[in-house]
């Protein structure tokens, strides 16, 4: 085998696969100097070969996995198809045959990452997944390597490009939700089923992966509380601005003495907070470590070339590891088993927009009920009036989720409360 050529196979040639293919072609002349060998795309697996005939030479295109798994000259498999199956089976088989794997698949890594990393370890293979979290932003490798000298206690950020794009377009251009989603899909940011973006599942998967690495304890997607942006209205965005906040879909992971907190939900953050300035498909992740203090990572979280950048970085890293016979060096980093806290045990401030009967004593009764549930009000504003109904906005102080939700259950039964229009958590730090 010619050591100066390393053959790779791409599984998928969609948004990300196309970006990877383009970057590999552009970087080809620099490869001997950068990594001591040249990467050659030997096979590209797709379902519908005709769709890709203009883009990929016929001798590379295949719709048969056996063309890849049975070819011993292919040493790196790059999975950019998405979904659990057949991706999981293909990756298991590739690793079991000693092929190194790069994947952008957060769905898979957030649920079966532990199992796949274990197979990689058994076969001394690399399994790298930098693109699976925050697209082009380097975050997995910095947490696994550069920040290893820290005890990380908090990871927080905007980790879904599609929803950040939609919220930006709604807030700045007055665009309707559906139009903004269509644009994000056309730009290649959204998942094959954009429900994963909108409902916070994609961000939840990324948060599970980051929390596992940060806290050295396995966290899976099922552990993460998720709430999406589908209920966010233009009115809430307008009121948030009036109150000095921006609404963002945040992922928050925290290590507390009682266990790990992992939650994804729309969050009001102060307009002067650095995350408030993160717009469009950009992502940003804050990491707090005991030695480094606060570190922030910022860049494009989705799209062909930004995501391709992370994938190609991983492929080139593997090629270099192969050159120096040190593959399998960095595997699963979970060496402990910590409990994950229930959402009801976590704390937050809350913004509530509601419609109340407009008569004397209503606000006092409401404040009294919140007070009797240990919920303190930091701000109360009366907004629009419609006949006998007044719209009221309340922001609470920090309170345990269970106490807040218990008080809402009671408030809903009060005859003077006509509607609870929205509830959004508020993050002040
Ligand atoms: N888009 C983005 O910005 C980002 C995406 N990712 C992740 O990267 C992965 C790919 O995403 P993306 O490129 O957007 O997806 P696309 O839907 O654009 O592309 C998927 C590709 O995979 C092929 N494919 C799908 N299923 C199979 C199968 N069973 N067998 C063979 N080929 C198959 C498709 O071929 P065919 O057309 O023939 O069906 C297509 O070429 C996903 O895991 C996604 O979550 C990660 C970060 C960012
Ligand atoms: N759909 C995802 C793509 C990258 O992970 C997003 O919008 O962030
Ligand atoms: Na990344």
The answer on 181 and 238 residing in a single domain is yes
Q: Based on the number of CB atoms within 10 Å of its own CB, is 373 exposed (0-12), middle (13-18) or buried (19 or more)?
A: middle
At 2 the pLDDT is: 66
3-state secondary structure labels for all residues of 280-333:
CCEEEEEEEECCCEEEEEEEECCCHHHHHHHHHHHHHHHHHHHHCCCCCCCCCC
At 383 the pLDDT is: 85
Q: Look-up: residue for tokens 């590209």?
A: 44
Test site for ligand 2: of 12, 80, 131, 135, most ligand atoms within 8 A of the Cβ: 135
Successive 10-residue mean pLDDT values, the chain, 429 residues: 87 98 98 97 98 97 98 98 98 98 98 97 98 98 98 98 97 94 96 96 98 98 98 94 96 98 98 96 98 97 97 98 96 96 97 94 89 92 88 96 95 93 93
Q: What residues contact residue 225 under an 8 Å CB cut-off, 6+ apart?
A: 204, 262, 263, 264, 265, 343, 346
Q: Hey, what are 351's tokens?
A: 């913004």
pTM surpassing 0.90? yes
At 123 the pLDDT is: 98
At 1 the pLDDT is: 57
Nearest ligand 2 atom to the CA of 159 is: 8
Nearest ligand 2 atom to the CA of 194 is: 1
Main-chain dihedrals φ then ψ at residue 383, nearest 5 degrees: -100, -135
Test site for ligand 1: of 80, 134, 137, most ligand atoms within 8 A of the Cβ: 80
> What is the total count of domains within the chain?
3
Q: Hey, what are 166's tokens?
A: 């939609």
The answer on 208 and 65 residing in a single domain is no
Ligand nearest to the CA of 299: 3
Known catalytic membership, residue 206? yes
At 97 the pLDDT is: 98
At 391 the pLDDT is: 95
Q: Which of 151, 172, 136, 250 is nearest to 204 (CA)?
A: 250
Give the residue whose CA is nearest to atom 35 of ligand 1.
Answer: 46
Nearest ligand 2 atom to the CA of 132 is: 5
> Residue 409 C-alpha to ligand 2 middle, in angstroms?
35
Known binding positions for NADPH: 106
Q: Look-up: residue for tokens 């989705």?
A: 302
Assess contact for 253 and 156: CB atoms under 8 A.
Answer: yes
Identify the domain containing residue 115 by its residue range. Answer: 5-135+305-323
Catalytic hit among 206, 248, 254, 355: 206
Domain for residue 336, yes or no? no
Q: Is 12 in the pocket of ligand 1 (CB under 6 A)?
A: yes
Domain for residue 295, yes or no? yes
The answer on 100 and 32 residing in a single domain is yes
Domain for residue 337, yes or no? no
The answer on 183 and 125 residing in a single domain is no
Ligand nearest to the CA of 143: 3
At 386 the pLDDT is: 86
């Amino acid at each position: 085998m010619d050591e100066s050529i390393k053959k790779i196979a791409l599984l998928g040639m969609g948004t990300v696969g196309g970006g990877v293919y383009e970057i590999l072609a552009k970087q080809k002349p620099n490869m001997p100097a950068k990594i001591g060998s040249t990467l050659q795309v030997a096979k590209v697996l797709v379902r519908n070969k005709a769709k890709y005939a203009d883009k990929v030479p016929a001798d590379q295109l295949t719709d048969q996995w056996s063309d890849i798994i049975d070819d011993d000259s292919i040493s790196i498999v790059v999975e950019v198809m998405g979904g659990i199956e057949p991706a999981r089976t293909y990756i298991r088989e590739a690793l079991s045959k000693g092929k190194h794997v790069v994947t952008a698949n957060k769905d898979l890594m957030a649920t079966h990452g532990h199992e796949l990393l274990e197979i990689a370890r058994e076969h001394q293979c690399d399994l790298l997944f930098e693109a699976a979290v925050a697209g082009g932003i380097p975050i997995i490798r910095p947490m696994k390597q550069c920040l290893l000298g820290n005890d990380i206690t908090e990871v927080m950020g905007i980790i879904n490009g599609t929803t950040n794009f939609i919220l930006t377009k709604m807030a700045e251009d007055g665009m309707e939700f559906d139009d903004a989603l269509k644009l994000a899909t056309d730009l290649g940011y959204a998942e094959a089923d954009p429900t994963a973006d909108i409902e916070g599942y994609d961000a939840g998967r990324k948060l599970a992966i980051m929390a596992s690495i940060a806290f050295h304890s396995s966290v899976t997607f099922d552990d993460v509380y998720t709430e999406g942006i589908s209920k966010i209205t233009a009115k809430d965005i307008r009121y948030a601005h009036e109150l000095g906040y921006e609404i963002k879909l945040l992922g928050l992971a925290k290590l507390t003495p009682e266990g790990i907190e992992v939650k994804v939900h729309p969050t009001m953050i102060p307009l002067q907070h650095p995350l408030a300035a993160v717009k469009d498909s950009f992502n940003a992740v804050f990491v707090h470590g005991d030695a480094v203090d606060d570190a922030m990572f910022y860049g494009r979280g989705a799209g062909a070339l930004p995501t391709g950048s992370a994938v190609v970085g991983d492929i080139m890293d593997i090629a270099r590891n192969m050159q120096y016979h040190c593959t399998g060096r960095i595997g699963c980093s979970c060496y402990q088993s910590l409990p994950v806290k229930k959402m009801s045990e976590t704390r937050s401030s809350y913004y509530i927009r509601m419609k109340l009967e407009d008569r004397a004593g209503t606000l006092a009764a409401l404040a009294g009920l919140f007070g009797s549930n240990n919920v303190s009000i930091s701000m109360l504003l009366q907004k629009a009036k419609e006949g006998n109904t007044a719209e009221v906005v309340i922001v609470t102080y920090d309170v345990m989720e269970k106490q807040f939700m218990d008080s809402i259950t009671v408030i809903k039964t009060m005859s003077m409360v006509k509607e609870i229009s929205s509830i959004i958590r508020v993050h002040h730090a």
